Amino acid sequence: MLQPNILEKRFASVTEEKSTGATYTPIELADFVAEKIVEEFQVSPGKTIHILDPAAGEGELLLSLLSKLTVPLTTKIIVHGFDTNSRALNRTKARISQAFPIIQTRLYPSDFLEFAFSTYEDRVGLFSDSVIPKKFDLIIANPPYVRTQIMGADKSRKLSQNSGLSGKIDLYHVFLAGIAQVLDSKGRAGIIVSNRFMTTKGGGSLRELLREKFRLRHVWDLGDTKLFNAAVLPAVILAEGISDSTSKTEILFSTIYETRETSQALADSPIAALAMQGIVSLTDGRNFKVEHGLLDTTGKDSLWRIATAKSDAWLAIVKSHTWGAFRDIGKIRVGVKTCADKIFIRSDWGAPEDQPELLRPLTTHHNSRRFRPKDSKKSSAILYPHEVVQAQRRASDLDLYPKTKAYLERHREKLEDRSYVIEGGRKWYELWVPQDPEAWAAPKLVFRDISEKPTFWLDLEGTVVNGDCYWLTPLNKTDEHLLWLAAAVANSTFIEAFYDHRFNNKLYAGRRRFITQYVEQFPLPNPSSLIAQEITALAKVAYNTSSSSELEAIEAKIDTMVWQAFGLDSEETTR
């Protein structure tokens, strides 16, 4: 429908970012979403088609959708768009009018969410527009991406109430809830979002809403394709409206993530690679693994993952050899968070006689190494003003520690700026997240949050763990041997394969996130089995081995045995 000269100029003057938090959509991705929306859309004779972009920006997505839509020439089309940026909407109107002179536009310099969560009567009055429909036939959107802490507690609370979502929400979560309110039961929607909600606990209420309020047709996890300049890993949701007669159907799920494997299959871009299967090499030198299957939402955690015959069979073998999970050892916690690191954490505390009394050794990601922590040149200590008295955690009495008190008083003004600490009923000098002061002395498994390869080690020195790492101590003191077994499993190539089969969620450059909700599900073989006992013993040997060549050989042996403990060979890593 668009003229070639208009197509060429479509994106010539597009600015890069919305001040509201969203980014403008690359033309190839916009066209991909538009194509998927119109693929099975059927127009009823004589019906007016109402199209909506709830965060229209300068009209990129609307132009893509209009260019892909094939309808009889007599069909009346009305385009609706919302954006709080009036200048951007003026640009949208001009561009659509130039490309499609006969199409009506209704653009509102207003908040879509205010529209979506009001009654139809209120909408007509609020926007003074009798043409505004109760529901929309086609919706295309790239909602703004603004996290809870940026929105503020009051706005976040109000949005949660309006949308019915719970927990930590992002602005795009609420946009999805709003889109569900206004999509016609026979309508289709294509929405670009962050993929984060699919595999985090905080995204649970959104996953539930999507399953209940839409008929999901296809989800594409676009992983680390770097389609946007912003550090957001995108996904695309294709959905239809629901009615009382809507039946549940299988949901298609596709993923694409960068890999080091190479292939003879070539594609010009990640979007083009989505039409293929397996390893695909791009003309820019990157390689991606493309998988197509069904969306698996089974299990009590209801995380979204791709289900393929190979992957499900692989996980079934692992399950049959699993005795328990890391969560059965104890609770996994994130390290301490001070919200004033420059004050509480230092490597230059001065001479011992001048140091504050409440200093403790600190473990950070700089100490990360498999099995045994390494000494870091950035070795730091933390001022830790917390203790346990009669089984209750409390702030230390500074009058008992004069050097600590003097030091903290010098920084009192900055510490009191952390108003949320005081508003939470805490003393001005407390850490924001101190965790359990008594637990630090126990042996613990520590690991980095983000890394390409898993890095788990034992801390036997009673250090405090910083917020860039997670840690696990056994609930039962007699279960210390399970920490050694867990370290061996977690440091194996088996756990990399398990992570990719079970969660398939990576950041850029193949890095994985080792956070509580993933690591707590890592499997353990029966610790009483002969092979598990041998693995445990070897993990202790690895801890006490300083020779790099010897350690490499020990780790290789542990790795092979971990695979065997779960009934697999190390070669069986592909899906």
pLDDT (tens digit per residue) in 238-250: 999 998 766 778 9
CA distances from 287 to 257, 272, 335 (A): 8, 13, 35
Identify whether residues 424 and 506 lie together within a single domain: no
Environment class of 469 (CB within 10 Å of its CB; exposed 0-12, middle 13-18, buried 19+): buried
Identify whether residues 191 and 137 lie together within a single domain: yes
Identify whether residues 521 and 415 lie together within a single domain: no
Identify whether residues 210 and 85 lie together within a single domain: yes
Residue 172, domain CATH = 3.40.50.150
What is the sign, positive or negative, of the torsion defined by CA atoms of 197, 200, 205, 211? positive
Nearest CA to 111 out of 167, 50, 155, 148 is that of 155
Residue 395's SS3 state is: strand
Q: Is the pLDDT of residue 495 over 90?
A: yes
Indicate the residue among 432, 451, 473 that finishes a domain. 473
DSSP 16: S
Neighbours of 247 (CB within 10 A): 6
Domain of residue 414 covers: 331-473
Q: Is residue 219 situated within a structural domain?
A: yes
Identify whether residues 386 and 512 lie together within a single domain: no
Could you tell me whether strands 278-282 and 287-296 are parallel, antiparallel, or unpaired per DSSP bridges?
antiparallel
Q: Is residue 575 situated within a structural domain?
A: yes
* Residue 269 identity (one-letter amino acid): S
Identify whether residues 290 and 400 lie together within a single domain: no
Tens of pLDDT, residue by residue over 403-451, are 999 999 999 999 999 999 998 899 999 999 999 999 999 999 999 998 8
Q: What is the mean pLDDT of residues 493-507?
A: 89
Q: Which residues contact 204 (CB under 8 A, 6 or more apart)?
A: 167, 302
So what's the pLDDT on residue 445? Answer: 99
Identify whether residues 38 and 186 lie together within a single domain: yes
**Mean pLDDT, the chain, whole residue set:** 88
Q: What is the mean pLDDT of residues 304-323?
A: 93
Q: Is the pLDDT of residue 16 over 70?
A: no
CA distances from 503 to 236, 303, 515 (A): 18, 8, 12
Q: Is residue 10 situated within a structural domain?
A: yes
Q: What is the mean pLDDT of residues 158-180?
A: 80
Judge whether 497 and 523 are in contact, CB under 8 Å: no
Rg of the chain over Cα atoms, rounded to whole angstroms, equals: 27
Query: Per-residue confidence at 60, pLDDT binned at 50, 70, 90?
Result: very high
Tens of pLDDT, residue by residue over 132-141, are 788 999 999 9
Greater model confidence, 296 or 282: 282
Q: Is the pLDDT of residue 89 over 60?
A: yes
E strand residue ranges, 15-143: 49-53, 77-82, 104-108, 136-141
Kindly report which listed range (143-147, 196-200, 386-390) carries the lowest average pLDDT score: 143-147
Identify whether residues 462 and 361 lie together within a single domain: yes
Q: What is the mean pLDDT of residues 524-550?
A: 97
Give the separation between CA 524 and CA 533, rounded to whole angstroms: 12
So what's the pLDDT on residue 109? Answer: 92
Q: Is residue 244 situated within a structural domain?
A: no
Q: Is the pLDDT of residue 233 over 90?
A: no
Neighbours of 307 (CB within 10 A): 16
Which tokens go with 46? 């004589």
Residue 452, domain CATH = 3.90.220
Could you tell me whether strands 266-267 and 252-258 are parallel, antiparallel, or unpaired per DSSP bridges?
unpaired
So what's the pLDDT on residue 572? Answer: 54
Q: Is the pLDDT of residue 575 over 50?
A: no
Q: Is residue 506 situated within a structural domain?
A: yes
Query: Per-residue confidence at 12, pLDDT binned at 50, 70, 90?
Result: very low
Give the separation between CA 314 and CA 166, rounded to whole angstroms: 34
Nearest CA to 492 out of 565, 571, 558, 572 is that of 558
Q: Is residue 245 situated within a structural domain?
A: no
Q: What is the mean pLDDT of residues 17-24?
A: 47
Q: Is residue 243 situated within a structural domain?
A: no
Identify whether residues 203 and 286 lie together within a single domain: no
Q: What share of the chain has pLDDT > 90, as a percent?
A: 67
Judge whether 318 and 516 are in contact, CB under 8 Å: no
Place of tokens 């991909």: 32
Indicate the residue among 473, 507, 533 that finishes a domain. 473
Q: Is the pLDDT of residue 527 over 70?
A: yes
Identify whether residues 177 and 197 lie together within a single domain: yes
pTM, whole model, 2 decimals?
Answer: 0.81
Q: How many folded domains does the chain comprise?
A: 4
Give the separation between CA 228 and CA 226, rounded to whole angstroms: 5
Query: Per-residue confidence at 511, pLDDT binned at 50, 70, 90?
Result: confident
Q: Is residue 497 situated within a structural domain?
A: yes
Q: Is the pLDDT of residue 22 over 90?
A: no
Identify whether residues 464 and 559 lie together within a single domain: no
Identify whether residues 348 and 407 lie together within a single domain: yes
Neighbours of 539 (CB within 10 A): 25
Judge whether 470 and 496 are in contact, CB under 8 Å: no
